[in-house]
């Protein structure tokens, strides 16, 4: 059997660092949103026995195809937690989501594998049960599986569904730089706590359906502490195109902007494409990974 899954990217509408725990992990409060930019992940059960997993990602030579790829960790977590007898697998990743962007391109591929294996092996797990498996190999993988608009707290693994983000147009641009997550956290640790959470304010705007107010609450603590000129330049261009607001996603380096007017969003895409290779026009989604095709 072969299952093809559409695996969406995510953006962070907010990312507040609440504090650092005694065990070294950071507590966060953030609102995450899936968007209509997808990787396509195809999982095929091969004949025979054994635990062999073959991974291919034809258009992205930088993506590892050995056991270090998160899709292998996803498959092994599925077999371990369900106690299903492992079988040889072929996993093909068609990437559209840029890597090292803060868009969860790896995490969403891992979530897609768990969803596909649940159907291939007829384990009939609920979405929540699959999300519990996903939590074993990545903090934002459960969100990528479930999708929509969610609040993430604690270390990012405690999820609460929120009112859906209002319809809008979201432009995403990924510059040719990468950001060190470790360096970003270290910079946050060196700052005094700011005493309030942008996340709380943004959630209020979600429930009042105030997209303009919501766009004024976009916030990413990593962006604030890292002060990256390339990020600021993209944001300036987006705001010049009449975006309601713009922010970096996750640990970067992708930047996104919210538009109400589609023509203004399209104009922004065209302007950014003159300088950057990875520019996308997307919309907010109400769900996460979904099965696109089933082949016997």
- In DSSP notation, 227-238 reads --HHHHHHHHHH
Residue 36 in tokens: 């209509």
How far is 106 from 93, CA to CA, in rounded Å?
Answer: 10
- Among residues 163, 189, 220, the one where a domain terminates is 163
Domain that holds residue 155: 2-163
Interhelix angle 229-240/262-273, rounded to 10 degrees, is: 140
Successive 10-residue mean pLDDT values, the chain, 296 residues: 98 93 87 99 92 91 90 97 96 96 96 99 97 95 98 92 98 91 80 82 96 96 90 98 98 96 98 98 99 94
The 10 Å Cβ neighbour count of residue 167 is: 9
Statement to judge: residues 147 and 179 lie in one domain: no
Q: Are residues 115 and 150 in the same domain?
A: yes
Give the model's pLDDT for residue 25: 82
Q: Which two tokens stand for residue 162?
A: 């929120």
Distances (CA, A) of 180 to 77, 186, 250, 290: 27, 10, 11, 31
Q: Contact 97/144 with Cβ under 8 angstroms? A: no
> According to the model, what pLDDT value does residue 30 have?
97
Q: Is residue 116 part of a domain?
A: yes
Q: Are 148 and 161 in contact (CB under 8 A)?
A: yes
Alpha carbon distance 95, 37 (integer Å): 10
The verdict on 142 and 176 lying in the same domain is no
Q: How far apart are CA 55 and CA 45, in angstroms?
A: 12
Same domain as 26, residue 147: yes
The CATH number assigned to the domain holding 78 equals: 3.30.230.10
Q: Are 278 and 37 in contact (CB under 8 A)?
A: no
CA dihedral 232, 233, 238, 240 (to 10 degrees): 110
Element holding 32 (H helix, E strand)? strand 26-45
- Cβ-proximal residues to 55 (8 Å cutoff; 6+ apart), any chain: 64, 65, 66, 69, 71, 72, 91, 92, 93
What is the set of active-site residues?
10, 140
In the chain the first and final C-alpha atoms are separated, in Å, by: 5
> Residue 187: what pLDDT?
81
Q: Return the closest-CA partner of residue 141 out of 122, 159, 118.
A: 159
Structural domain includes residue 293: no
Longest dimension (CA), the chain: 58
Q: Assign residue 138 a region: left if phi > 0, alpha if psi is -120 to 50, beta otherwise?
A: left
pLDDT of residue 21: 84
- Rounded to whole angstroms, the Cα distance separating 40 from 115 reads 13
Q: Is the model's pTM score more than 0.85?
A: yes
Q: Give dist(CA 120, CA 98) in Å, integer.
A: 28
Token pair recorded at residue 247: 């922010």
Q: Let me know whether 152 and 269 are in one domain.
A: no
Q: Residue 193 carries which DSSP code?
A: P
Domain boundary among 163, 192, 211: 163
Domain co-membership, 16 together with 107: yes
Q: Which of 163, 181, 196 is the last residue of a domain?
A: 163
Residue 268, domain CATH:
3.30.70.890
Structure tokens at 2: 């072969």
Please check whether residue 239 lies inside any domain of the structure. yes
**What is the rounded CA–CA span in Å between residue 29 and residue 200?**
9
The predicted pLDDT at position 214 comes to 97
Whether residue 101 is found in the same domain as residue 212: no
- Tally of domains within the chain: 2
Neighbours of 91 (CB within 10 A): 24
What pLDDT, on a 0 to 100 scale, did the predictor assign at position 48?
Answer: 84
- Cα–Cα distance, 272 to 110 (Å, whole number): 30
Task: Quickly count: other Cβ atoms within 10 Å of residue 176's Cβ.
Answer: 11
Q: What is the pLDDT of residue 175?
A: 97
**One domain, residues 10 and 135:** yes
| pLDDT value, residue 180 | 74
């Amino acid at each position: 059997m072969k299952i093809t899954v559409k695996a969406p990217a995510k953006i962070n509408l907010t990312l507040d660092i609440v504090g650092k725990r005694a065990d070294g992990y950071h507590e966060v409060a953030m609102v995450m949103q899936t968007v209509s930019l997808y990787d396509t992940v195809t999982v095929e059960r091969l004949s025979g026995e054994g635990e062999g997993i073959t991974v291919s990602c034809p258009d992205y030579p930088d993506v590892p195809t050995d056991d270090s790829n998160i899709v292998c960790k996803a498959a092994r977590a599925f077999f371990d937690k369900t106690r299903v007898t492992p079988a040889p697998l072929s996993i093909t990743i068609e990437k559209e989501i840029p890597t090292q962007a803060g868009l969860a391109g790896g995490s969403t591929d891992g979530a897609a594998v768990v969803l596909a294996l649940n159907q291939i092996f007829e384990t009939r797990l609920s979405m929540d049960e699959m999300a519990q498996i996903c939590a074993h190999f990545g903090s934002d993988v459960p969100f990528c599986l479930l999708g929509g608009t969610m609040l993430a707290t604690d270390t990012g693994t405690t999820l609460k569904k929120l009112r859906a983000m209002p319809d809008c147009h979201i432009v995403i641009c990924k510059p040719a730089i990468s950001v060190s997550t470790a360096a970003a956290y270290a910079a946050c640790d060196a700052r005094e706590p700011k005493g309030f959470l942008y996340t709380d304010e943004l959630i209020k705007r979600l429930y009042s359906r105030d997209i303009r107010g919501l766009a004024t609450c976009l916030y990413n603590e990593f962006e604030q502490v890292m002060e990256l000129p390339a990020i600021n330049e993209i944001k300036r261009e987006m705001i010049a195109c009449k975006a309601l607001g713009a922010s970096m996603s996750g640990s970067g380096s992708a930047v996104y902007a919210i538009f109400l007017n589609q023509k203004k969003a399209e104009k922004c895409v065209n302007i950014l494409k003159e300088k950057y290779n990875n520019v996308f026009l997307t919309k907010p989604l109400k769900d996460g990974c979904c099965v696109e095709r089933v082949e016997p």
